[in-house]
Amino acid sequence: MSCPPRALYDVPAPAKLNLFLHITGRRPNGYHLLQSVFMLIDWADTLHLERRPGGHISREDLNTDAPALPEHDLVVRAAQALQQATGCTWGAHIALDKRIPQEAGMGGGSSDAASCLLALNQLWGLHLPRATLMALGLRLGADVPFFLGGQHAWVEGIGEQLQPLALPTARFVVLKPPTGVATPQIFQHPSLERDCPVADMHDFLTLDASTLYQYGHNSLQAVAQQLCPDIGWGLHWLQQQGLPGRMTGSGSALFAPLPDGADLDLGTLRPGWQAKICRNLSAHPLAG
Ligand code: C5P
């Protein structure tokens, strides 16, 4: 068996968009049952990892402009969880180039954790199967197993039941307001829609490219909009551009499919808003 590498640089961690997100119930532990399609896009963070002796995990932000939110710690927690699960005595230094907006519903923190688990599995010579990493990842966050799965997916349960699916190539405009909402605040809100009828994946799969990206809605959007008025402003802005906007995950990022040749007037966005034209990926860059 070949020797594990001492370092892995330029490890990508792509973002996701939730094409729709329906809350269909709640587990006794408070976690919500959902149905969603998670789609990988080409807006990504980058990790650089070096194996170190002594077990210590250190983390560095290469993009110093990024605010130090607790979400960052998920990478360190992922590394520590892998050490605990395997008894591995190696440590690591992890440098993170954070590009995906935070408090966006784009899964940046979860994707970083997933890419960190995949990279350390290799750097530390652990050879854990992907299914074991996914079980470990679920304990870190409900979105982590999706990123480890490596493909667009129909997602159920609390985020751990994944059925890979193919999606037609498409472009999207993604907007991030300067403000955000904490995910637990939305999920705990009394007026959250929690009784969405259960959808059938096969109905979704029969749709063509022109209707697929309009399917369903986001159950978290109404509450998020109440808590974060910028979301309403962004949806209105998209509507003015002739685009059917929607929130991804628990927000506050919004997106809309972009027809070929569509011309956007980004200059009319308010100061502090981020806008990016993204494409969906055919698969996670680390898949396989
Ligand atoms: O697992 P994650 O850290 O992404 O979730 C953040 C919070 O969102 C959880 O603490 C929980 O309150 C809520 N949540 C939920 N049901 C889900 C996913 C998240 O209630 N399926």
Per the DSSP assignment, residues forming a β-bridge with 61 are: 96
Whether residue 68 is predicted with pLDDT greater than 70 in this model: the reply is: no
Greatest Cα-to-Cα distance within the chain, rounded to the nearest angstrom: 58
Ligand 1 atom, smallest distance to 141 CA: 1
| pLDDT of res. 288 | 75
| pLDDT of res. 138 | 94
Average model confidence (pLDDT) across the chain:
94
Band of pLDDT at residue 159, cut at 50, 70 and 90: confident
Whether residue 262 is predicted with pLDDT greater than 90 in this model: the reply is: no
Which residue's C-alpha comes closest to atom 14 of ligand 1?
31
* 252 upstream amide cis, omega within 30 of 0: yes
CA of 31 to the centre of ligand 1 (A): 6
Ligand 1 atom, smallest distance to 143 CA: 4
Ligand 1 atom, smallest distance to 157 CA: 21
Whether 283 contacts 40, CB under 8 Å: yes
Ligand 1 binding pocket mutation candidate from 18, 33, 147, 187 (most atoms within 8 A of CB): 187
Whether residue 69 is predicted with pLDDT greater than 70 in this model: the reply is: no
CA of 229 to the centre of ligand 1 (A): 22
Helix axes 108-123, 73-86, angle to 10 degrees: 40
Whether residue 261 is predicted with pLDDT greater than 90 in this model: the reply is: no
Which residue's C-alpha comes closest to atom 20 of ligand 1?
31
Residue 236 and residue 276: Cα distance in Å, rounded?
A: 17
Identify which has the larger pLDDT, 252 or 65.
252
Whether residue 64 is predicted with pLDDT greater than 90 in this model: the reply is: no
User: Quick count: other Cβ atoms within 10 Å of Cβ 13?
Assistant: 30
Which residue's C-alpha comes closest to atom 15 of ligand 1?
31
pLDDT digits (tens, 9 = 90+) for 94-127: 999 999 999 999 999 999 999 999 999 999 999 9
Q: Which residue has the tokens 């170190």?
A: 52
Ligand 1 binding pocket mutation candidate from 32, 73, 103, 188 (most atoms within 8 A of CB): 32
Alpha carbon of 74 to those of 107, 224, 273: distances in Å?
A: 12, 23, 25
Band of pLDDT at residue 57, cut at 50, 70 and 90: very high
| pLDDT of res. 40 | 98
| pLDDT of res. 67 | 55
Whether residue 219 is predicted with pLDDT greater than 80 in this model: the reply is: yes
Nearest-Å Rg of the Cα atoms of the chain is 19
Handedness of CA 280, 147, 43, 121 (dihedral sign): negative
Whether residue 263 is predicted with pLDDT greater than 90 in this model: the reply is: no
User: Quick count: other Cβ atoms within 10 Å of Cβ 200?
Assistant: 10
Whether residue 6 is predicted with pLDDT greater than 80 in this model: the reply is: yes
| pLDDT of res. 66 | 55
Whether residue 139 is predicted with pLDDT greater than 60 in this model: the reply is: yes
Binding pocket residue ranges, ligand 1, CB within 6 Å:
30-32, 34, 141-143, 158-159, 183-184, 187
| pLDDT of res. 1 | 59
pTM of the model: 0.95
Whether 22 contacts 249, CB under 8 Å: no
| pLDDT of res. 210 | 84
CA of 4 to the centre of ligand 1 (A): 35
pLDDT digits (tens, 9 = 90+) for 174-193: 999 999 999 999 999 999 99
| pLDDT of res. 249 | 97
CA of 143 to the centre of ligand 1 (A): 9
Long-range Cβ pairs for the range 259-265 (8 Å, 24+): 260/171, 264/173, 265/241
CA of 157 to the centre of ligand 1 (A): 12
